[in-house]
Amino acid sequence: GCEWDIYQNFLAAPVRQLLIELHGGAGVKADSFMRSMHAAGWAIFSKEPNTIGCRGSCLEYSFIRLDLPRDLNPAWLLNSQPSKPTLNNSPPSKPTSKTEDP
């Protein structure tokens, strides 16, 4: 049950997905956890009970971060520098018109 005390530490983790098992997840702690996850950009994409280890009293939640902040760019995980975006300063090309044969 330490997840209730430490979840604030991984709200901004530089990862796209997170799997966590919640123990005794009713009440104020669970509400605060879910609201914090949502506010940090996480969404639930899977939920299932642990029927073996907890006999169904624990729930496993899979979260996905919908909008990864720029400072948490996945290139950081590879220990490399992210490439800088390039700007295309050329004017847009004109559409070509097609003429139909008579």
pLDDT tens digits, one per residue of 85-98: 545 555 555 555 55
3-class state of residue 75 by DSSP: helix
- Are 3 and 23 in contact, with CB atoms under 8 Å apart? yes
Query: Which residues fall within 8 angstroms of residue 69, CB to CB, at 6 or more apart?
Result: 12, 41
pTM: 0.62
What whole-number distance in Å separates Cα of residue 98 and Cα of residue 78?
48
Nearest to 4 by CA among 45, 65, 21: 21
Of residues 78 and 65, which shows the higher confidence score? 65
